[in-house]
């Protein structure tokens, strides 16, 4: 009996594992936290195993897992009771975390969307994630299932256990809220990789910091640049405010020397920074800077701690 159960468990795990990454991205869109999405996927697989007898198999296995994952996220959101009514900057979303592009690229096209770009920039960029936090949970579900995953209205209504009219109404309200909170130029962004211009500006950003050239770092910043540092509730706006901070970080009294590695988070150009403090022989993982670039300059920097360096495939020291 034990061997039978173990074999069944192994077969079920193999079946669910192929959907892990896309479910993780789905939960991340709902929760805006990489770590919480990990917890949600683990809970999804546990619930799926416990209720496996209720699933009759077939081609609807993926949709069944999405149903469970969505309900897990709804439960987590209800328990947290966190929701914004409006948002000015990422400083108001302290649970926001970056998502490594190298893991986004693991999401494979599904049988029902074989030719789709599964993780488009518009649906994973930090501005989208932050705007989602303004939506009530069921509006988030309607927007993600209908507009991001392309589910029909009837399937969305079934998942939410409502009439078809209810998720349609939720979707319209969600779209209106998102339009009010997202940059007008989002539609001009590329679907996937950062553009050549963005990669070139990231290179200049890295070069300026490694040379500790504050003037060069300031020269590539917009006049109305904004810097936030989730989970810290800090928001710095305008070059007049931010230039002295850059000069302090890169000047003679800085904390040490910098080495930066180019990477990508949320389909955006990103620099992973290592700091070697005085007296230390190694550069140690310190932070991520995710760049939003507009009109050839850096319009926004979102700085995250070093906790997710392993998820980005980056070593703890250089």
- Is the pTM of the predicted complex or chain greater than 0.85? yes
Alpha-carbon 197 to chain mean position = 22
Q: In the block, which residue shows the tokens 């509006």?
A: 139
Alpha-carbon 281 to chain mean position = 33
pLDDT band at 7 (very low <50, low <70, confident <90, very high): low
Given a contact cutoff of 8 angstroms between Cβ atoms, the answer to whether 72 and 47 are in contact is yes
How far apart, in whole angstroms, are the C-alpha atoms of residue 269 and residue 264?
Answer: 5
Whether pLDDT at 6 is above 80: no
Residue-wise pLDDT for 257-311, tens only, equals: 999 999 999 999 999 999 999 999 999 999 999 999 999 999 999 999 999 999 9
**Average per-residue pLDDT for the chain:** 90
């Amino acid at each position: 009996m034990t061997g039978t159960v173990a074999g069944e468990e192994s077969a079920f795990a193999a079946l669910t594992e192929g959907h892990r990454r896309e479910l993780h991205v789905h939960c991340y869109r709902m929760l805006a936290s990489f770590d919480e999405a990990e917890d949600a996927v683990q809970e999804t697989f546990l619930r799926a195993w416990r209720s496996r007898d209720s699933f009759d198999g077939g081609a609807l296995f993926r949709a069944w897992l999405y149903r469970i994952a969505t309900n897990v996220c709804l439960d987590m959101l209800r328990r947290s009771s966190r929701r914004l009514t409006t948002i000015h900057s990422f400083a108001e979303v302290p649970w926001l975390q970056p998502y490594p592009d190298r893991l986004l690229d693991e999401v494979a096209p599904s049988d029902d969307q074989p030719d789709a770009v599964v993780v488009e920039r518009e649906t994973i960029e930090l501005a989208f994630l932050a705007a989602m936090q303004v939506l009530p949970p069921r509006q988030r579900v309607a927007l993600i299932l209908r507009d991001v995953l392309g589910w029909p209205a009837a399937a969305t209504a079934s998942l939410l256990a409502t009439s078809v009219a209810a998720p349609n109404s939720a979707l319209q309200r969600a779209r209106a809220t998102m339009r009010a909170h997202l940059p007008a130029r989002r539609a001009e962004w590329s679907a996937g990789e950062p553009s050549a211009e963005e990669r070139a500006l990231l290179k200049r950003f890295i070069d300026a910091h490694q040379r500790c050239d504050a003037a060069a770092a300031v020269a590539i910043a917009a006049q109305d640049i904004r810097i936030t540092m989730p989970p810290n509730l800090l928001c710095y706006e305008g070059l007049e405010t931010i230039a002295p901070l850059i000069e302090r970080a890169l000047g003679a009294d800085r904390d040490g020397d910098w080495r930066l590695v180019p990477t990508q988070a949320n389909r955006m150009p990103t620099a992973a920074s290592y700091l070697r403090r005085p007296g230390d022989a190694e550069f140690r993982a310190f932070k991520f800077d995710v760049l939003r670039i507009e009109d050839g300059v850096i319009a926004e920097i979102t700085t995250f701690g070093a906790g997710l360096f392993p998820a980005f495939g980056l070593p703890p020291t250089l």
